[in-house]
Structure 1
Amino acid sequence: MPPRPRRAVRTLAWAGGAALLAAAVAAAALGLGGGGADPALATRTPPATATVTRTTLTDTETVDGTLGYGDTLTITGKSHGTITWLPDEGSTITRGHGVYSADADRRPLLYGTMPLYRTLEDGAEGEDVRLLERNLKALGYTGFDVDRTFTWATREAVEDWQDDLGLDVTGRVRPGDVVIADGPLRVARLKKTLGDSATGPVLTATGTTREVLVDLDVAQEHLVRKGMKATVELPDGTTVNGKVTSVGKVATETGNGADAATTVQVKVSVSGLRKSYDAAPVDVTIVSERRENVLAVPVGALLALSEGGYGVQVVEGSATRYVAVETGMFADGRVEVTGVREGMTVAVPK
């Protein structure tokens, strides 16, 4: 699939608002005659009107992202021998199943975050023992306590496990006997072929859940937070729901010269995907601000006042008057205002 042209970060809420506001400022300034409580009434009905409504205004940011399976992990062989079996690229490997084989012995996957760095056997104590025992229990082996101590009961469970896998029954586990990852793996790319040495990088893998990675400019970092909802637009124009799952703490500088940028990585989970994209460029729209239960009028209803600030032309039957307003948030061509009542009719100059 050829890459789509990328769009720069843009603020959707101001796309129409800024232009209309500029037009209002450029219009002839009006004065309220010192106080503006009840300026002279006009008798000509304006050509277009709108009603002051109570609503929710939403401000959004749209940024570029990449849909994929998250960060890539390199699986490295740590024992001598020859590669005799490899999984297919794109396949999924879960706890207890083989990641690859060396000398016809499977190297099963165990879940955890601590790599094995020593042989686990009778008398060993530590969190790596707890990791092994937790996995043995999840695989259905019993008769031992899940703790930090490798006991005779742990050894018997290891022997049963090794026998079930068709491995040499030793009752101990060496670092090269297993592969440790924090969850199920999806095979991304094979680094070895059958007959290669089992030492060194064997394959790369990712998690099994698709997510969107966004390199967010640090200037926009304040707009996002964990748990925030998002909308993800796919290459075919369809959209799916998303949610921010993490916001990076470390800024990274990329590019050179005029293309240099300082970014943090934002991860967005997605749901409702119906098409299988291994990787694809996407647009991520995030709700950066929301104002609920506010009064709003079209931005085009604002008029610049000669004494400063803004006002609106209130329509009352066949007459009109000008009322000063305070502006708040701009979004979707509307602006939050105070100084008028809900249900009032205001002119919208063309």
Structure 2
Amino acid sequence: MTSSPKSRRRVLVGISAIAAASLGVGVVAGSRITSPEDAAAKTAPPSASQITVPAEKKALSSKVVGRGDASFDGAVNIRVETSGLKTPAIVTGKVPAVGATITEGKALLEITGRPVIALAGTLPMYRSLSPGSKGPDVLQLEQTLDRLGFDPGKVDEEYDGDTARAVERLYEAAGYDAPAPDEGLQQAVDGAKKNVDGLKKALRQAQVQLKQAKAAKAKDLTVQQGAVDDAEANLADGRQALNEAEFKAGTPLPVSEIVYVKTLPRRVDKVNVERGGTVNGVVMSASGASLVVTLKVDVQTAEHLKAGMPATLTLGDGSTVAAKVRRMTRNGDNYDVVVAPNKLTAKQIEQLRDANVRVSIPVKSTTGKVLAVPIAAVSSGSDGGARVEVLRNGKIELVPVKVGLSADGYAQVTPTGDATLTEGDQVVVGR
């Protein structure tokens, strides 16, 4: 049976379609058949590549960083010795408010109408002083008067006339009359003055009698001359007694009118008295007028710190304040490091008050910018020396280096020998 051309075309199209379908199946099937070698190649991890960063020029600073509590420096309790008063110790004025500043040479309180003047010193006022007093408390007083510019004369352990006059100037500067001597001492001065006046009169009379005897051309003037000599000697003794009486009646310093505080100025933290009340024990508590921050460090860390080192305080809003290490005090197994801000605004004082803040104290630093790489880039060679790996032109070079200061994750490095390492060189920090 002979097929028509149209029928043959349909058959060929069908065969072509079947062939194409078979080819597609073969391609798909072939793509799913993988040799063991190809499978291993596809599942193996990729070749390791280096992680590099550029060497940099930067200043490095090694720091002690911690957190500290802010407070007003050196709280103390202030007491007034009132045992020398002849009347009840009634507070009559000058009661300070909390937050007020106690200034050296000024009255911090008034008791029975008299001032209690604050002075800086370590030895407490334990007795009244007056001309003739001697001891270390007199020396402290004269040192203080001299420092304040009141000229106590020779600074020693003796309260003399110069000391008394300097005390007068102290009271005058504070705005008060100087203390008066005991009534008995003033009466002694008055009596000595009258005695001197009488002795002067007696001398004049003796001198007149001697003159008259000479005018009468008396042959023996022994009696008249003797009377003049005795009168002169008596007057000299009287004047000496007056000088001693005036010396003893010089300006005293009552124990109840001076309070020594270790350092001044200070801030009043608490007031325990009120006007009209009676002084009994601590009259007020005061701390340093300036805020400080105290942080605790261990003994090993303390070995790297000393007073005078610069520091930085970070406030709650992220701003920073320049400061210095004021002192370090052993406290059990640790050290208390007291850091004082250089200068504070009113806003910063409020931010610091009773706050816990970050403290940073540089203990070592480079002089300007140095060549530095991440610490992770530094490794040890077989000879024990330090080295860094540098990627140059697709190859790794080992560059021996000398390592300097390490800080903030970076190390100062200097290439040794003929090796070169410059800013921008790519150093390997990982793979």
Tell me the TM-score normalised to structure 1 length: 0.72
Map residues 143-292 of structure 1 onto 2, 5 A cutoff. Answer: 144-158=153-167, 165-166=176-177, 168-170=179-181, 171-181=251-261, 182-248=263-329, 250-252=330-332, 262-274=333-345, 275-277=348-350, 278-291=353-366
What residue in structure 1 maps to residue 134 of structure 2?
125
Deviation, structure 1 residue 73 = 1.1
Secondary structure of the corresponding residue to residue 165 of structure 1: coil
Aligned partners of 2:421 and 2:317: how far apart in 1?
41
Q: Answer yes or no: is 1:65 the counterpart of 2:65.
A: no
RMSD: 3.3
Give the letter for the 1:240 counterpart: V
Q: Deviations over 1:111-147 (max 9, x none)?
A: 2222222221121123322333344456665584443
Q: Deviations over 1:313-350 (max 9, x none)?
A: 32232433344656554322323445552314434446
Residue number among 330, 345, 349 corresponding to 2:406 in the alignment = 330
What residue in structure 1 maps to residue 80 of structure 2?
77
Q: Deviations over 1:248-296 (max 9, x none)?
A: 2x332xxxxxxxxx32121212123222234322111111333557543
Question: Which region of structure 1 is more displaced relative to structure 2, 233-242 or 309-318?
Answer: 309-318
Q: Answer yes or no: is 1:97 the counterpart of 2:106.
A: yes
Aligned partners of 2:292 and 2:359: how far apart in 1?
11
Deviation, structure 1 residue 103 = 1.9
Higher strand share: 1
Higher helix share: 2
Contact 2:291 2:349 in 1 (8 A): no
Aligned partners of 1:311 and 1:156: how far apart in 2?
75
Question: Which region of structure 1 is more displaced relative to structure 2, 327-336 or 101-110?
Answer: 327-336
Gaps of 5+ in 1: 1-43, 253-261
Gaps of 5+ in 2: 1-46, 83-87, 182-250
Contact 2:146 2:152 in 1 (8 A): no
Give the letter for the 1:341 counterpart: T
Aligned partners of 2:72 and 2:387: how far apart in 1?
52
What residue in structure 1 maps to residue 31 of structure 2?
none
Contact 1:159 1:169 in 2 (8 A): no
Map residues 306-345 of structure 1 onto 2, 5 A cutoff. Answer: 311-323=387-399, 329-337=405-413, 338-339=415-416, 340-343=419-422, 344-345=425-426
Contact 2:377 2:428 in 1 (8 A): yes
Give the letter for the 2:264 counterpart: G
| Bigger relative contact order, structure 1 or 2 (CA pairs below 8 A, ≥6 apart) | 1
Using the aligned pairs only, state the percent identity: 28
Contact 2:168 2:178 in 1 (8 A): no
- Structure of greater Rg: 2
Pick closer, same or farther for the CA change 1:92–1:101 going to 2, 3 Å. Answer: same
Deviation, structure 1 residue 222 = 1.6
Aligned partners of 1:104 and 1:245: how far apart in 2?
39
- Count of residues in Structure 1 that have an aligned counterpart in Structure 2: 297
Contact 1:227 1:243 in 2 (8 A): yes
Contact 2:102 2:264 in 1 (8 A): no
Aligned partners of 2:162 and 2:405: how far apart in 1?
66
Deviation, structure 1 residue 94 = 1.5
Contact 2:179 2:253 in 1 (8 A): no
Pick closer, same or farther for the CA change 1:62–1:266 going to 2, 3 Å. Answer: same
Contact 2:81 2:125 in 1 (8 A): no
Contact 2:269 2:286 in 1 (8 A): yes
Aligned partners of 1:228 and 1:108: how far apart in 2?
35
Aligned partners of 2:319 and 2:328: how far apart in 1?
25
Deviation, structure 1 residue 203 = 0.3
Tell me the TM-score normalised to structure 2 length: 0.60
Pick closer, same or farther for the CA change 1:116–1:290 going to 2, 3 Å. Answer: same
Contact 2:179 2:254 in 1 (8 A): no
Pick closer, same or farther for the CA change 1:196–1:55 going to 2, 3 Å. Answer: same
